[in-house]
Amino acid sequence: MNYWVVLPAAGRGERFGVGAPKQYEALPGGVVLEHALAPFLRLSSTDLRGVVVVLGSADTRFATLPLAQHPQVTTTTGGASRAASVLAGLDAVRARGGAEDEWVLVHDAARPCLSAAELGALLAALATPAGQASGALLALPVADTVKRAASQEANAGGTPELAVVAATVPRDGLWRALTPQAFRLGALTAALENALRLAAAPGGSAPTDEAAAIEALGGAPLLVPGSPYNVKVTLPADLEFAATVLRSRAERTRHD
Ligand code: C5P
């Protein structure tokens, strides 16, 4: 099955808490972004039509990576929200000859531990009738009990980093959305344009994943069970976890 990859990497990673964007943090064998793309390029022989990496306008790091010379990889400049950055990536796919009904896999530049097995499961889901109709995303059932916190005002006088419980959210049927998320080029473009229009209205906000934009137009994407190792590097502890996962995979490959 032919597909394109869009890798949004234009975020500033403010929650990570250091100067450099988190996608350029070092891991064994390469930076976070290089690991994020590796599983796609390993499978590149047949089905991959091309990769578009979406960069911040001030990015000077990407061009220094060997990946920048890869024949299937091109770059474009992102926007103020993830949705705007992905939309810029979709424009670049179209400019490279992508057809409206072709699949685009959107994968966070900050997820360095995607496995070949997860990628295979996602692509297999796209061949099912539900996948064909609305696309699919990797996701994980929520294991912890989930609490909603009260607003900060309800915590008046308390320690700012502590929160007060407002409610327990039943976790039945709740999944955490991971990436890649796969949708057809035309459908995802229409959904993100719609989402950004709504976000521009007073009180509106941009969607935090692609599936949310598809759902808003009535789509029902497939949830494909992913791996708990497919971590998004958001905090320094996530980087340590990712390093451990990659080291143990490299170790296993050496012993195979
Ligand atoms: O901010 P968050 O961790 O959810 O970002 C997820 C992905 O979206 C990251 O790879 C980040 O670089 C990207 N992003 C982007 N453009 C933005 C904001 C986030 O490409 N304006």
- How far apart CA 213 and CA 190 sit, in angstroms, is 9
Distance (angstroms) between ligand 1 centre and the Cα of 204 equals 18
Segment (H or E) for 141: strand 136-141
Please check whether residue 65 lies inside any domain of the structure. Answer: yes
Please check whether residue 145 lies inside any domain of the structure. Answer: no
Q: What digits encode the pLDDT tens for the residues 80-129? A: 999 999 999 999 999 999 999 999 999 999 999 999 999 999 999 999 99
Q: What domain count does the chain have? A: 1
- How far apart CA 31 and CA 21 sit, in angstroms, is 11
Please check whether residue 124 lies inside any domain of the structure. Answer: yes
Coil, strand or helix: which one is 81? Answer: coil
Please check whether residue 148 lies inside any domain of the structure. Answer: no
Q: Which residues contact 152 (CB under 8 A, 6 or more apart)?
A: 160, 163
Q: What are phi and psi of 64, to 5 degrees?
A: -85, -10
B/e letters for 66-99, b = 16+ CB within 10 Å, e = fewer, are ebeeeebbbbbebbebbbbbbbbbbebbbeeebe
Please check whether residue 118 lies inside any domain of the structure. Answer: yes
Please check whether residue 157 lies inside any domain of the structure. Answer: no
Segment (H or E) for 75: strand 73-77
CATH number of the domain bearing residue 221: 3.90.550.10
Distance (angstroms) between ligand 1 centre and the Cα of 87 equals 12
Q: How many CA atoms lie within 13 A of 176 on its CB side?
A: 13
Atom of ligand 1 nearest to the CA of 208: 4
Question: For a pLDDT cut of 90, what percent of the chain falls above it?
Answer: 86
Domain span at residue 232? 3-137+176-255
Please check whether residue 219 lies inside any domain of the structure. Answer: yes
Q: pLDDT 10s digit of each residue in the chain, 256 long?
A: 899 999 999 987 666 666 678 999 999 999 999 999 999 998 755 789 999 999 999 999 999 999 999 999 999 999 999 999 999 999 999 999 999 999 999 999 999 999 999 999 999 999 999 999 999 999 999 999 999 999 766 666 666 678 899 999 999 999 999 999 999 999 999 999 999 999 999 999 999 999 999 999 999 999 999 999 999 999 999 999 999 999 999 998 887 7
pLDDT at 55: 98
The reply to whether ligand 1 has any atom less than 6 angstroms from the CB of 164 is no
The reply to whether ligand 1 has any atom less than 6 angstroms from the CB of 86 is no
- How far apart CA 107 and CA 55 sit, in angstroms, is 13
pLDDT at 154: 63
Please check whether residue 170 lies inside any domain of the structure. Answer: no
Q: What is the total residue count of the chain?
A: 256
